[in-house]
Homo-oligomer: A and B are copies of this chain.
Amino acid sequence: MPEIKSLGFQKATKNRIFQDVVDQIQEAILSNELKPGDMLPAERDLRETFNVSRGTLREALRVLEHKGLIEIRLGTSGGAIVKNTGMEQLNETLALLIRSGELSVIDVGEFRAGIEEKVAHLAAERADQNQIGRLEALLQEARRLTDIGVSAWDDFLDTDQEIHKKIAEFSGNTLYKFVNNVVQDNIRRYYDRFLDPTMERMEQNYQDLAELVDAVRNKDARKAARTAQQHVYAFNSWMREKEAVRAGRSAKDAEQKTPKK
């Protein structure tokens, strides 16, 4: 076999050659032969290694980039750098599903309720003192913003979201953390668009958060779960009201998802 750099790359032969290149590089990354931070050779060198044209190689790199496995930088000392896998792709895919209309905001809200319930349950069981302290600090910030009033609405929602993300992190389950963050990021757009800031909502929201953090502090998993669920339900019903109003105004949008009990 012709000398092939230091890595175990082979010549590409199948149909859809670029796919073969994708597979080989991906395999090298997932098997930890290439670690995050490592640089791939320059395109003109890789081209030769795989014995393909530069265009074909670039199609392969494009796919790997979109998979989130590499990042491509410009200029001298640029090139393809191996990335830490993350939830960015999950995030984008979920956003696509929502935008394409295959997922209703009601479905996403219901899903969120389930996730947050579980995450709160686990966090109450597992959070240590240090983590509880960080939640309390965030809660204090939420209190401060609530006292400011509706003008701090956006910052309040940020802090609210931050608390939920921390709780997901403290659940100790990476997958719950990923999924929770993805859902948070995607549903937040709807809140920003559809949720009017009112003092009542801020205050109730804060009370929910306080109760939730309190349950976690006391390691009362069942209460934490219940509180988190009710907290999300409140958001969801606000959203449904809004949705109902919108549907009422534009009569052409006749088809609505059957409301769930």
Contact B1 A155 (CB under 8 A): yes
The chain B residue sitting closest to A115, CB to CB, is B114
Contact B30 A108 (CB under 8 A): no
Interface hit among A129-137, A173-181, A203-211, A248-256? A173-181
Contact with B along A103-143 (1 / 0, CB 8 A): 11001101100110010001001100000000000000000
Q: Which residues of B contact A87 (CB under 8 A)?
A: 97
Flag whether A89 is at the interface (Cβ < 8 A): yes
Q: How far is the CA of A144 from the CA of B121 in the complex (A)?
A: 38
The chain B residue sitting closest to A63, CB to CB, is B66
Number of interface residues of A (CB under 8 A): 70
Contact B102 A85 (CB under 8 A): yes
Flag whether A150 is at the interface (Cβ < 8 A): no
Contact A96 B103 (CB under 8 A): no
Contact A8 B95 (CB under 8 A): yes
Contact B107 A118 (CB under 8 A): no
Contact B126 A260 (CB under 8 A): yes
Contact B174 A107 (CB under 8 A): yes
Contact B67 A67 (CB under 8 A): no
Flag whether A245 is at the interface (Cβ < 8 A): no
Q: Which of B102, B118, B260 contacts A114 (CB 8 A)?
A: B118
Contact B96 A93 (CB under 8 A): no
The chain B residue sitting closest to A64, CB to CB, is B66
25 pairs across A/B with beta carbons < 8 Å? A1-B159, A6-B161, A6-B185, A7-B188, A29-B100, A32-B101, A55-B55, A63-B63, A67-B92, A85-B96, A85-B97, A85-B100, A90-B90, A90-B94, A93-B93, A97-B175, A102-B174, A103-B175, A103-B178, A107-B173, A107-B176, A114-B176, A126-B260, A172-B260, A179-B179
Residues of A within 8 A of B (CB): 1-2, 5-8, 15, 18, 29-30, 32, 55, 58-59, 62-63, 66-69, 74, 84-85, 87, 89-90, 92-97, 99-104, 107-108, 110-111, 114-115, 118, 122, 125-126, 155, 158-159, 161-162, 172-176, 178-179, 184-185, 188-189, 192, 221, 257-258, 260-261
> What 4 new A-B contacts, CB under 8 Å, besides A103-B174, A111-B176?
A66-B67, A67-B92, A114-B115, A122-B260
